[in-house]
């Protein structure tokens, strides 16, 4: 590096640049949070959805699955499982999820095993409500197709 | 033989040793998960995949934190030219952090996660069950307490001593680490907000303040092993971390493409994260430049190898493999695929695992009273460890990248109705997963070789 470019100049670029871009980041964050209600349907977050999110967290679902692409890559994407497995109706999805959760573990030799989490019917219903609400989020049209 | 400049630097030793114990655990659980990818029911009832993954990733984070803390306790007193403010506090915090870490991991392994949530009163302040932040809330509070004590101890040390650029950058990085961790306590019901601010911990750690820590450690080791003038090295350090933060802060946008966020993040994230490889490229130029301009032949060849290695591997893993899927129109297809896993593995190994092993390689012979360097034989075994682990990680990354490309091709690119399902796709990727597991076993052999080098104590002839 050129001798005329001193350590002091490098330090000023570091401090100035970091502060400048951090302030822009904060401004964009402020704007994003303001815009978010247009996309997250927060008026539809019922108590069942809230309980469902806690169940999702309490059973560490993210340890195998992804939710909008974030999580582990061992098991299917679940942000759109409502659309994929619901057959177009809430009743259809709830029936599917209830049957699915109760059938675990499938015990098919060699197949990846999902544990049985021993959820009650009410809890499975809450989880379904959470997944339904999640499927309706406007996430800029991800994933590219129904398979997630 | 006492070879420490300041006696209190010795507190770094238990931190480094414990980091290595956790590292072994991390790799063993990685191998279990790798096998579950191809033999789905392997240990299924005993260690479900989600538990193994939580142990694998949490052990990684915690051993890196132990490594960073050890590095800070070692280099900050020497840079400040004074003894550590309180060695007793450092040792007490070591035991608190180690106990909290072990108890948390045992909690993951011994009881179902939902039971762990209940017995740690998660419902009072729910923070569990989010990727990488799975720790019980009480453990998270413990981490904050340890971090505060740690920062206080180092802050007081720097205040009474010399304030070098390396110390200031290291300290800024560590303070940033503690501050951004506080977002782990924010878990709103609204998933849109939850996901957005979750990245304030995850991205602003690994693509932000951790790069300051890495830069400071690398600069310290390069000064020691090359003898190049501090002014030159510190100038490079500032340039590199300036580039890291200028690209990395708005680069956070590459995680916001598919959240409940305005479209402009696709532009902001793509442009700034495309610049994120630059600081890593500069690090490669700088490390090789400094070693070529060295003014002394340091007897610790292994430490120099690690310093060059971490620069190259972080450029490949974080820089090149990050760039591969960072542009929004590419990421639309690759998001949350095995491409992400490939990048994650090489980036964490290249940047953070290797920087911890760099400072350990330099500091451990001194901490153990051996001298400037281990004997030649021990260094050869250590370098075998370096090459086996590094080459194995290159292959792990290549196999996961192969799996990821095929996954995108089969599952993501075709239209709905024609695309293969997730599980059907996974079956097609089996060969890549087997090869990855074999590379993982080689990695373990490398780790064993690396650890074995600590037990070779032939007297140095020179």
Asked if residue B59 belongs to a domain, the reply is yes
Asked if residue A142 belongs to a domain, the reply is no
Asked if residue A115 belongs to a domain, the reply is yes
Considering only CB atoms, A62 lies closest to which of B131, B189, B196, namely: B131
Considering only CB atoms, A76 lies closest to which of B231, B340, B422, namely: B422
> Using omega within 30 degrees of 0 as the cis cutoff, is the peptide bond preceding A143 cis?
yes
Asked if residue B103 belongs to a domain, the reply is yes
Look at residue B114 and tell me whether its pLDDT is greater than 70: yes
Asked if residue A7 belongs to a domain, the reply is yes
CB contact under 8 A, B333 and A144: yes
CB contact under 8 A, A25 and B238: no
Asked if residue A126 belongs to a domain, the reply is yes
How far is B60 from chain A, CA to nearest CA, in Å? Answer: 15
Look at residue A88 and tell me whether its pLDDT is greater than 60: yes
**CATH code where residue B86 lies:** 1.20.210.10
- Residues β-bridged to residue A66: A71, A77
Closest to B283 in 3D by CA, of B323, B320, B247, B239: B239
Closest to B223 in 3D by CA, of B391, B57, B387, B362: B362
d(CA A129, CA A52): 7
pLDDT at B459: 59
Tokens for A99, please give them: 């049957």
Considering only CB atoms, B113 lies closest to which of A29, A60, A67, namely: A60
Q: Which residues from A are below 8 Å from B268, CB to CB?
A: 28
- Residues β-bridged to residue A77: A66
Position B462 confidence tier, pLDDT thresholds 50, 70, 90: very low
d(CA A73, CA A67): 10
Q: Which residues from A are below 8 Å from B422, CB to CB?
A: 75-77, 147-148
Asked if residue A143 belongs to a domain, the reply is no
Considering only CB atoms, B262 lies closest to which of A32, A49, A74, namely: A32
CB contact under 8 A, A13 and B238: yes
Predicted ipTM?
0.97
Asked if residue B405 belongs to a domain, the reply is yes
Tokens for B180, please give them: 């951004």
For chain B, give the mean pLDDT.
Answer: 97
CB contact under 8 A, B191 and A61: no
pLDDT in tens, B156-199: 999 999 999 999 999 999 999 999 999 999 999 999 999 999 99
Position A16 confidence tier, pLDDT thresholds 50, 70, 90: very high
CB contact under 8 A, A10 and B39: no
Residue of B nearest to A140 (CA): B258
Burial of B249 by CB count in 10 Å (0-12 exposed, 13-18 middle, 19+ buried)? buried
Asked if residue A54 belongs to a domain, the reply is yes
**Domain check: are A56 and A113 in the same one?**
yes
Distances (CA, A) of B305 to B49, B114, B222, B379: 35, 45, 11, 10
Asked if residue A144 belongs to a domain, the reply is no
Considering only CB atoms, B242 lies closest to which of A10, A29, A107, namely: A10
| CB-based contact B242:A20 (threshold 8 Å) | no
pLDDT in tens, B400-420: 999 999 999 999 999 999 999
**Domain check: are A31 and A50 in the same one?**
no
Look at residue B244 and tell me whether its pLDDT is greater than 70: yes
pLDDT in tens, A37-80: 999 999 999 999 999 999 999 999 999 999 999 999 999 999 99
Asked if residue B281 belongs to a domain, the reply is no
Q: Looking at residues B101-122, what average pLDDT do you find? A: 97
d(CA A57, CA A144): 26
**Domain check: are A93 and A74 in the same one?**
yes
pLDDT at A1: 72
Closest to A1 in 3D by CA, of B244, B213, B243, B285: B285
User: How many structural domains compose chain A?
Assistant: 2
Look at residue B290 and tell me whether its pLDDT is greater than 50: yes
**Domain check: are A8 and A50 in the same one?**
no
pLDDT at B1: 66
Q: Give B25-78 as a DSSP string.
A: HHHHHHHHHHHHHHSTTTTTTTS-HHHHHHHHHHHHHHHHHHHHHHHHHHHHHH
Asked if residue A106 belongs to a domain, the reply is yes
Look at residue A35 and tell me whether its pLDDT is greater than 80: yes
The label of the residue with tokens 């309490």 reads A58
Percent of all residues in chain B with a pLDDT value above 70, rounded to a whole number: 99
Range scoring the smallest mean pLDDT among B43-47, B68-72, B395-399: B43-47
**Domain check: are A50 and A15 in the same one?**
no
The single-letter DSSP state of residue A67 is E
Q: Looking at residues A94-105, what average pLDDT do you find? A: 97
Structural element, H or E, at residue A71: strand A70-71
CB contact under 8 A, A112 and B41: yes
Tokens for B52, please give them: 């193994």
List, as ranges, residues 78-107 from A with C-beta within 8 Å of B: 105, 107
**Domain check: are A53 and A92 in the same one?**
yes
Contact partners, residue B95, CB within 8 Å, separation at least 6:
none
**Domain check: are A122 and A95 in the same one?**
yes
Asked if residue B248 belongs to a domain, the reply is no
Asked if residue B302 belongs to a domain, the reply is no
Asked if residue B140 belongs to a domain, the reply is yes
pLDDT in tens, B81-104: 999 999 999 999 999 999 999 999
**Domain check: are A30 and A51 in the same one?**
no
Tokens for B14, please give them: 């238990």
d(CA B304, CA B297): 10
User: Which structural domain, as residue segments, surrounds residue B446?
Assistant: 7-213+316-454
Position B370 confidence tier, pLDDT thresholds 50, 70, 90: very high
Q: Looking at residues B331-345, what average pLDDT do you find? A: 98
Asked if residue B52 belongs to a domain, the reply is yes
Q: Looking at residues A17-45, what average pLDDT do you find? A: 98
pLDDT in tens, B291-318: 999 999 999 999 999 999 999 999 999 9
User: Which structural domain, as residue segments, surrounds residue A107?
Assistant: 41-135
User: How many structural domains compose chain B?
Assistant: 1
d(CA B97, CA B91): 10
B351-367 per-residue burial string, b: 16 or more CB within 10 A, e: under 16: bbbbbbbbbbbbbbbbb
Residue of A nearest to B53 (CA): A63
**Domain check: are A49 and A108 in the same one?**
yes
């Amino acid at each position: 590096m050129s001798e005329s470019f001193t350590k002091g100049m490098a330090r000023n670029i570091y401090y100035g640049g970091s502060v400048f871009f951090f302030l822009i980041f904060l401004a964009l964050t402020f704007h994003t949070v303001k815009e978010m209600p247009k996309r997250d349907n927060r008026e539809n977050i019922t108590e069942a959805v809230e309980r469902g999110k806690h169940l999702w967290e309490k059973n560490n679902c993210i340890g195998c699955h992804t939710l909008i692409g974030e999580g582990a890559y061992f098991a299917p994407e679940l942000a759109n499982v409502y659309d994929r497995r619901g057959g177009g109706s809430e009743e259809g999805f709830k029936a599917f999820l209830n049957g699915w959760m109760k059938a675990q573990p499938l015990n098919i030799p060699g197949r990846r095993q999902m544990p049985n989490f021993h959820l009650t019917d009410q809890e499975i219903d809450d989880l379904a409500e959470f997944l339904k609400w999640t499927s309706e989020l406007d996430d800029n049209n991800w994933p590219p197709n129904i398979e997630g | 033989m006492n070879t420490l400049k300041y006696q209190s630097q010795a507190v770094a030793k238990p931190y480094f040793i414990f980091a290595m114990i956790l590292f072994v655990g991390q790799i063993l659980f990685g191998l279990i998960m790798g096998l579950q990818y191809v033999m789905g029911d392997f240990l299924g009832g005993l260690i479900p995949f989600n538990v193994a993954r939580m142990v694998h990733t949490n052990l990684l984070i915690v051993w890196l934190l132990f490594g960073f803390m050890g590095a800070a306790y070692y280099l900050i007193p020497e840079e400040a030219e004074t003894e550590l403010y309180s060695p007793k506090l450092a040792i007490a915090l070591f035991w608190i952090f180690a106990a909290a870490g072990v108890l948390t991991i045992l909690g993951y392994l011994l009881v179902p996660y939902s039971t762990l949530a209940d017995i740690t009163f998660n419902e009072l302040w729910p923070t569990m069950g989010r990727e990488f932040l799975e720790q019980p809330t009480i453990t998270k509070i413990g981490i904050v307490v340890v971090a505060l004590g740690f920062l206080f101890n180092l802050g007081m040390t720097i205040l009474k001593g010399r304030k070098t650029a390396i110390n200031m950058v290291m300290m800024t990085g560590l303070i940033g680490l503690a501050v951004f961790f506080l977002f782990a306590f924010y878990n709103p019901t609204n998933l849109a907000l939850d996901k957005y601010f979750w990245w304030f911990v995850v991205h602003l750690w690994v693509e932000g303040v951790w790069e300051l820590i890495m830069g400071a450690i690398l600069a310290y080791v390069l000064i020691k092993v090359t003898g190049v003038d501090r002014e030159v090295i510190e100038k490079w350090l500032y340039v590199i971390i300036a580039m890291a933060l200028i690209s990395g802060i708005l680069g956070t946008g590459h995680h916001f493409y598919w959240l409940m966020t305005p479209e402009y993040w696709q532009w902001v994230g793509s442009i700034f994260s495309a610049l994120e490889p630059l600081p890593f490229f500069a690090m490669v130029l700088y490390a090789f430049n400094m070693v070529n301009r060295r003014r002394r032949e340091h007897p610790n060849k292994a430490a120099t190898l690690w310093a060059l290695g971490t620069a190259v591997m972080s450029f490949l893993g974080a820089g090149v493999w990050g760039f591969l899927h960072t542009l929004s129109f590419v990421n639309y297809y690759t998001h949350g695929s095995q491409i992400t896993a490939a990048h994650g593995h090489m980036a964490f190994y290249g940047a953070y695992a290797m920087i911890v092993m760099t400072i350990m390689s330099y500091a451990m012979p001194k901490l153990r009273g051996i001298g400037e360097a281990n004997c030649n034989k021990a260094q050869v075994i250590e370098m075998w460890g370096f090459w086996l682990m590094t080459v194995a990680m290159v292959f792990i990354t290549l196999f996961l990248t192969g799996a990821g490309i095929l996954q995108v091709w089969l599952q993501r690119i075709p239209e709905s109705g024609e695309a293969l399902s997730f599980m059907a796709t996974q079956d097609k990727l089996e060969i890549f997963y087997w090869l990855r597991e074999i590379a993982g076993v080689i990695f373990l052999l490398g780790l064993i070789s690396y650890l074995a080098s600590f037990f070779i104590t032939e007297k140095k002839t020179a």
